[in-house]
Every structure is written in structure tokens, then in C-alpha cells.
Structure 1
Amino acid sequence: MKTIATRFTSKKLVWFAVGCILLVNAFILGKVYINRSAVIAQLELSERELQLPYNYGFSKEDSSARVSLRWATPNTEPINIELNHWRWQHDRSLQLSAAHFASFQFHACTQKTRLHQKQSGWVLLEFNGKSYTDYVAQVEQYHQLIMGLTATANGELAEKELAEKRKDATEFFTAAQTTNSRLFLIDAAAERELLEAVQRERQSANSGQLIIVPAELRAGYYRCDNNEKRTTEVIVDNLAVESLYIPNRLATDFPSDNNMRPTVKFSALVNYGRLHEPWISNLQ
């Protein structure tokens, strides 16, 4: 009897586990269906905005490969010869208006809590618009500044350092024009409605595409410093969805050799659905 009861209990547990799996899958599929039932925005991105994974190679993938969104925030620092220019493309700090910063209602900052105030909110993305144009103009200004320098001391070392600096500046300018992301995160707020007003105003005088998406943010690193004036700064940790699948049916023409990853050029149509989640609908 005890053995029969044990078997019966085991079967119940198995069916319970199967039921949980089916329920979770149904929830996920239902969410996907709802999200893709309407397309609220489309972006045609390339390898400049979609980063192939470092372990690229479909032989190890079960069903798909992933690409990650590459984005930047506008540079607010003055242009000078000491500028660490590579951080422009990777910086995640963003200066907000007082009203938009206040919408997050961050707690008073202390040394213990300043790095743990992550909140969900909304961000305004701009693709191939004014922010990117301004970025290229800043890089060009930096390039011209470096090209106008002269060696400050006689000797081979000074000339070599200047030549290296000019080479870096030229590569940076070329990358800004041809390979760096054109997707910029330009504003944020806790309520979507606050960004919708900015979107309408900016769209009227902007040739780029604007879209509002969910993200995770926290207060800026420097809010605890009484001498620091950037009191409306936030750090964008990540977008709510920053990694996208490439289905195998769209990836058949991609090379499987990992060494060719840096040279892969492609164009992907990215749709944002009813739940503000993106997916790749076409890829060339």
C-alpha cells in the first residue's frame, strides 16, 4: 500500500511539474502574441546598432543567435585635447530636466544607497537624428583640434606622440561616420506621458525616428557630493529588452565562422509591438 501511495504521489508531482511548464509556456506565448498583434514602431538598424555576440557561430546555437542593441547618450562635455573620446560611445549617463528627474522620486542619496536606487521608467530613443548629427560634428571638431596641434618639444618622442594622437583622432572620426551606432538615448522619465510631449515637439523638427521604450535607471553617481552640480543626472543601466533573437530562418546566409564576426554587414528590420518589446522581422 505504501508503495502504491508513493507512486501515486510521484505521478501527481510529475503532472504538477508538466502543468507548471505548460502554464509558463502558455503565458509566454500569449505575451508574445499580444505584443506582436500590433506594430507601433519600426527601425531599420544595421551592424552599427546591433552587436553580434562574441561567441558568434551558429553551430553552438540551439535555435537562434542573438544581437544586442548598441546605443549612446549625448556628450555634454566641452571638446578639448584631453578628452577621453572613447567613452562617448559607451557612457550611460543622461542629464534630465528638473521635472523629468523629479518624476522618479529618488530617495535622498547616501553613501550606502546611492548605487541601489534602480527604478523602472521610460526612455526616448532617437535613431539617425539630430543627436547623431551633433555627435559626428563633435568628433569632427575634436579631429580638427588634434590635427591643428604642433609638437610642444623637440625630439622624436614628441613627434611620435603627436602622430599617434592624430592617428587615433582620424580613426575616431572615421568610426563616427561609418561604424558607430546612430541610436541615441536622449531623455527619460518615470511616466511615459512626459516623454510623449517631448517626442511630439522634437519630431516636428527632426528627420530621425523617435520611439519610447521601457528601461531600468538609477540616480547619478555624484548626487552625494555637495560640490557636484549634476543633480539631475541618471544612469541608464539597460533597456528593458536589449537583446534580440535572430531566428534560424533569417540567419541562413550568415557565416558560421566566428573569425568573420567583425566583418559581417547586415540590415535588420526591428519591430516594436503593443507591449513595447522588439523583435527582428526581416534581416538581409
Structure 2
Amino acid sequence: MKRAQKILLVGGVALIVAVNAFVLAGVAWNRSGEPGSALTLTQRELSLPYAFGLDGERGGIDVALLWRAPMRDDNADAAYDMHYGRGPDWLDADKLRELGFDLKEERDAYRQKREVFVVLELAGADWQAALAQAQRRLDRALARGDAEKQDVDAQKSAQEALKYEQQKASRLFAVDAGLDAAALRQRYPDTHRHLIVVATVTPSVMVIDKKTTFSGHIGELAVARISVPHTLRGAMDGIDRSALDSGRATFEMDVAWGRRFEPWVTAVRPQRAARVE
């Protein structure tokens, strides 16, 4: 082997070692000390890969964090509102300015995007409000009666929406945002209910009758997927996607977030429904 090739090979190996050491040091620092947040989540808030348990894979897996924005009153007839729709009421013009957005150039405001800290609340007031809203939707459908086919369809849809909200929909809601994580933690001190993450926020502009209204949209989290290590993966053996979807199996995962607001799984507890003979 020529000298130049040897130098390149040694340099390449050294670079790989250095990068791996840097990554491992970052992971270690993130997980040092007490976690910034530590939540127990279920299949409602953690989505497994679509083919989980059906493709024979027995290695590590990633789960996607599912969260929501509170539904608006004008969205009351929607089955459920994930975070892809309009932003929450609290993310208004004043909050956008607080987050550092310049709204003077109205037409170009939507071009801005910033990373901020977002507070996600587990099974709090917004989830209770979503349950109540689904119940009101069913009550309205039942009050209209079932004289027409569309009324029957509306009742069925409302019943399914309520059941989904009660049993399957994520209970994790975006409730606040800010530029100072420490200040948000003081405002939301329960580390087992309030999770602080990094996410992008983008303004949106609506002009109706020459009146301009600003609102904000919360985009993807900086870390939206969480790796389940191989050492804990074995706990999920025997559970597949069909069992989870049918309710024959459920699971809990303890997830911690560290100094860099990056998550890791600390425990996995699957539950299988008892067979009826």
C-alpha cells in the first residue's frame, strides 16, 4: 500500500473514531443528572412502525411521538385534531411577537420559521376539553334524531369519534411555547406531566374584510422519533400491529428527556389482554 493511501486510511479511521466519541459524549452529557422530563406514555402517544411485529424484525425500533394542538370551537365537528391543522388559540400575534417574530411585513410573515421551546402536557385540561367536545358532538347528533340517513351517519361518526378520543387518541397537547426553557419549567414544574421539547413555529396570515389576523403553526419536533434499544426490544415480543389496533395488547414506555432535550426509553411494559376461552 502506498504511503499516501496509508495516510488516508489512518486519517479516515481516526475521523470515524473522533465522530463516534463526540456523539457518545453528547449522549452521555444529555443523560447526565436528573432528567428534565420523565413521562410514562402509551401506544396513544407513541406510534410503532406500521409493520411492527409482522416483518420478523427483532432489532431496535423507533417510535414516533404523537401530540396534538387544542381544537378550536369552529372545529367542533371534527373527529380529532392532530398537530397538522391550524395552530392553537394561544399561539396568536402577541405570542408570536414574544417568540421573536417580526409581523410588520404582513405578507412575508409566513416565510419566517424559528425553533422554540414548546410545552406538551399529558392528560391535562386540554385533553379533558377534547373528551367533552367529542361528547357534545354526539349529544348534538342524537338530539337531531335519525329521520334521515345523514342523521344516522352523523350519529355513527360521532360515536366512533368519542370512542376514539376515549381509547386511542393522544393525550399529549401543546399548551405553551417560549424562548427560555428554564422560565417555562418554572411555569410548568411537573416533570412527569409537562414535557419541554424543541419544535419549529411558523406564522400564518389571514386577511378577511381587510382585517389581518396572525396565528402560529407548530411544526415537527427537533427529535420526533425515539429509539427503543435492543435490550428493551425483547419486552415487545409477541405483540404486533394487529393486536395493538384491536386493543388485544397495549404498552407503556417510560421516556426521559435530558439536558439537550433529547429523549431515551428507560423501561417498556407491554400488556396483553387475557384470552377468553
Give the TM-score of the pair, scaled to structure 1. Answer: 0.81
2:137 to 137, 142, 149: 142
Name the counterpart of 1:266. Answer: 251
Q: Which structure would you say has the larger Rg? A: 1
Q: In structure 1, how many angstroms separate the alpha carbons of the residues matched to 2:39 and 2:211? A: 37
Shift of 1:225: 6.5
Q: In structure 1, how many angstroms separate the alpha carbons of the residues matched to 2:145 and 2:241? A: 42
Name the counterpart of 1:192. Answer: 181
Shift of 1:86: 3.6
Contact in 2 for aligned 1:219/1:235 (Cα 8 Å): yes
> Compared with structure 1, are the counterparts of its residues 252 and 41 closer, same or farther at alpha carbon in structure 2 (3 Å cutoff)?
same
Name the counterpart of 2:233. Answer: 251
Contact in 2 for aligned 1:100/1:190 (Cα 8 Å): no
Contact in 1 for aligned 2:198/2:261 (Cα 8 Å): yes
- 1:25-104, aligned counterparts within 5 Å? 25-38=20-33, 39-57=35-53, 63-78=59-74, 83-87=77-81, 90-91=84-85, 93-94=87-88, 95-96=90-91, 98-104=93-99
Q: Which amino acid aligns with 1:237?
A: G
Q: Is the counterpart of residue 159 in structure 1 residue 152 in structure 2?
A: no
Shift of 1:136: 0.6
Name the counterpart of 1:130. Answer: 125
Q: In structure 1, how many angstroms separate the alpha carbons of the residues matched to 2:72 and 2:85? A: 11
1:209 to 193, 216, 230: 193
Contact in 1 for aligned 2:37/2:196 (Cα 8 Å): no
Contact in 2 for aligned 1:59/1:256 (Cα 8 Å): no
Q: Is the counterpart of residue 180 in structure 1 residue 169 in structure 2?
A: yes
Structure 2 SS opposite 1:245:
strand
Percentage of pairs with the same residue: 26
Structure 2 SS opposite 1:251:
helix
Shift of 1:92: 5.7
Q: Which amino acid aligns with 2:16?
A: I
Shift of 1:105: 2.7
Stretches of structure 1 lacking an aligned partner (at least 5 in a row): 152-157
Stretches of structure 2 lacking an aligned partner (at least 5 in a row): 270-277
> Compared with structure 1, are the counterparts of its residues 190 and 9 closer, same or farther at alpha carbon in structure 2 (3 Å cutoff)?
same
- Superposed CA RMSD in Å reads 2.8
Tell me the alpha carbon deviations over residues 161-205 of structure 1, each in whole angstroms, 9 at most, x when there is no partner: 2111111100110111111111101111233355345425xx6xx
Q: In structure 1, how many angstroms separate the alpha carbons of the residues matched to 2:12 and 2:239? A: 37
Q: Which amino acid aligns with 1:262?
A: D
Q: In structure 1, how many angstroms separate the alpha carbons of the residues matched to 2:12 and 2:206? A: 48
Q: In structure 2, how many angstroms separate the alpha carbons of the residues matched to 1:228 and 1:189? A: 27
Aligned length: 262
Q: In structure 2, how many angstroms separate the alpha carbons of the residues matched to 1:62 and 1:250? A: 11
> Compared with structure 1, are the counterparts of its residues 199 and 99 closer, same or farther at alpha carbon in structure 2 (3 Å cutoff)?
farther
Give the TM-score of the pair, scaled to structure 2. Answer: 0.82
Shift of 1:50: 0.4
Q: In structure 1, how many angstroms separate the alpha carbons of the residues matched to 2:44 and 2:244? A: 13
Q: In structure 2, how many angstroms separate the alpha carbons of the residues matched to 1:77 and 1:229? A: 20
Q: In structure 1, how many angstroms separate the alpha carbons of the residues matched to 2:227 and 2:82? A: 27
Structure 2 SS opposite 1:134:
helix
Tell me the alpha carbon deviations over residues 127-169 of structure 1, each in whole angstroms, 9 at most, x when there is no partner: 0111111111111111111111135xxxxxx622211111110
Tell me the alpha carbon deviations over residues 59-109 of structure 1, each in whole angstroms, 9 at most, x when there is no partner: 5658411111111011122465xx333435753613325543213332445
Q: In structure 2, how many angstroms separate the alpha carbons of the residues matched to 1:197 and 1:173? A: 34
After TM superposition, the structure 1 stretch with the greater mean CA deviation from structure 2, 258-267 or 243-252, is 258-267
Q: Is the counterpart of residue 219 in structure 1 residue 219 in structure 2?
A: no
Shift of 1:267: 0.5
